[in-house]
Amino acid sequence: MTSDWDYFEKARNGDENAWNLLFNRYYKLLLNISLLITGSIDVAKDLTQETFIRMVKAKVKHREGSFKSYISTIAYRLALKENGHLKRNVKLENLNIPDESSTPHELVIKTERDNYIVRIIAALPDHQKEILILRLYGEQSYEEIARLMNLPLGTVKSRIFYAVKSCREKLLEKGIIE
């Protein structure tokens, strides 16, 4: 079975099929990370493209951890850097997350629910919000987040626990979950 790291090497060596596979597999994930951090779909699309360019150009010294963690870390850092350049506060409350639901009814329900969840996440303190984005949208493990953010593993677990607890309470209040 070919791993994503193997496809990565093939893509770097000009294999168009490997490039397409990685692009199709990770585009939405990277877009979501960038979108939630920057608050702009246009900026998120640009950063996602930049992530793939940097991925191919990077000199990877080791293959420690998952490829997903590697590529989502690039997107995360680019998005944080972009926010620093723009020197603005991100207004996640106004985001409309792209959706691929099959029926108009499903689309309305999912979009409303997703927008509410984004507003809940946006209201979290920054130290919880960033970690939750990496966990839920970046699909990174606790260990990967701890390495990326240079935090003790216990701190990462604690912040995720309290962020999820806070989100759950607000979802219960709104009647979105039982």
Is residue 165 pLDDT above 90, yes or no?
yes
Q: How confident is the model at residue 105 (pLDDT cuts 50, 70, 90)?
A: low
CB within 8 Å of 49: residues ≥ 6 apart: none
Please give the class, per CATH, of domain 93-178.
mainly alpha
Domains of the chain, by residue range, sit at 1-90, 93-178
Residue closest to 133 by CA, chosen among 77, 172, 63, 64: 77
Is residue 3 pLDDT above 50, yes or no?
yes
**Structural fold of domain 1-90:** Rna Polymerase Sigma Factor; Chain: A (1.10.1740)
CB within 8 Å of 77: residues ≥ 6 apart: none
68-83 tens-digit pLDDT: 888 888 898 898 888 7
Percent of the chain residues topping a pLDDT of 70: 83
